[in-house]
Amino acid sequence: MVIFRRLLGDVLRSARMQRGMTLRELSAEARVSLGYISEIERGQKEASSELLASLCEAMDLPLSDVLRDVADAVAIEEIALGVVATPITAGRPAGDVVASAA
């Protein structure tokens, strides 16, 4: 899914920049090619779960935070594209059930 790849790259780039890291620093810390990280950030390459874990560890960032930010960005895109009519409630605990008063 191209949109997911692009949004994942945007979130990773934003996280790296918020931490004041250059691509070169992240590359050295995560032991991943600078070019490959650059392609991931531009949404041109897929990132494996192992690679994502390595990048997150290098930035001292929980993978769950990255995935949550990407999920929020996907939801915004879906709303903008009219795929989803109403906003999705973020942060609802898994298994949370809303009971009706019928």
13-36 per-position pLDDT tens digit: 999 999 999 999 999 999 999 999
Dist. CA 87–CA 92, nearest whole Å:
13
Tokens 């949109």 correspond to: 3
Tell me how far apart the terminal alpha carbons of the chain are, to the nearest angstrom: 40
pLDDT at position 18: 97
What tokens does 71 get? 């999920």
Per the structure, the count of domains in the chain is 1
Residue 95 lies inside a defined structural domain of this protein: no
**CATH number of the domain to which 62 belongs:** 1.10.260.40
What tokens does 27 get? 């590359």
> Along the 102 residues of the chain, how does pLDDT read in single tens digits?
688 999 999 999 999 999 999 999 999 999 999 999 999 999 999 999 999 999 999 999 999 999 999 999 999 998 888 876 665 555 555 544 433 343
Cβ contacts of residue 92 below 8 Å, gap of 6+? none
Residue 20 lies inside a defined structural domain of this protein: yes
pLDDT at position 94: 52
Residue 60 lies inside a defined structural domain of this protein: yes
Dist. CA 64–CA 38, nearest whole Å:
21
